[in-house]
Amino acid sequence: MMYKISITILFLFSAMALFSQEQTSTETDPVNITAQGVINKYIYAIGGMDKFKSVMDRTTVMTGTAMGQPVDIIVMQKYPDKLFQELKVGEVKQLLYYSNGNGTMLVGTEKTEIEKKELERLMMDATMQLLLNPDSFNVKAEYLGIERIDSIDCYAIKLTLPSGIRWFQYYSMQNDLKFKETKEIQTKQDCLNRKLIIRTIVQLAV
């Protein structure tokens, strides 16, 4: 069974404000748009390469609903690839941990080791500098074209992980910020599509 969760996402990289930098990439020329060019424009829009690379800790706060239940998610990352996630759906709380190639899920007192495709997905989620060079992680980035989402024209790109799991990202043509993201999540039961609606400007700082 396929499920979709729609949630509003707020990125809080630190309390410090970012400083704007001049964009130097022209890879999103309408004649020759590339996926990496779209990503580069996004990175410059949130402060530039140097700021992006300097972030050592990142906290992501997400809220929304799933099948009529309130959803709250907190994701904490530490450079280069450590991750903790707390997910609450109604009265149920799930904890995820990833470090050094190992992933664990805790629901109540039940502990489960994460394996295979979902472990790979978790590893990529934990990798803070994935967007700088997806190819170096064997992630294929592909430009899909322009899509209109909620009256916003967006560049659409697809990231395909080595296992075949796909992430779809949509970047606003108005301000180059990420507007929506959909991720396939492999579970023991089936494949889950998680959709993130991004409406808040990202902040980066040391």
DSSP β-ladder status, 166-172 and 178-186 = antiparallel
* Ranges of residues in the chain whose predicted pLDDT is under 70: 1-31, 185-206
pLDDT, tens digit, for every residue of 66-118?
Answer: 777 888 889 999 999 999 999 898 888 999 999 999 999 999 899 999 988 88
8 vs 179: CA distance, rounded Å = 10
**What are the structural domains of the chain?**
4-14+27-198 (2.50.20)
Tally: H helices and E strands in the chain? 3, 12
The residue among 134, 172, 146 whose CA lies nearest residue 30 is 146
Q: In what helix (H) or strand (E) does residue 170 lie, and over which residues does it extend? A: strand 166-172
Tokens at 18, concatenated: 């970012």
Could you give the residue ranges of the DSSP H alpha helices within the chain? 35-45, 49-54, 116-126
Contact 162, 143 (CB under 8 A): no
pTM: 0.74
- Which pLDDT score, from 0 to 100, does residue 29 have? 61
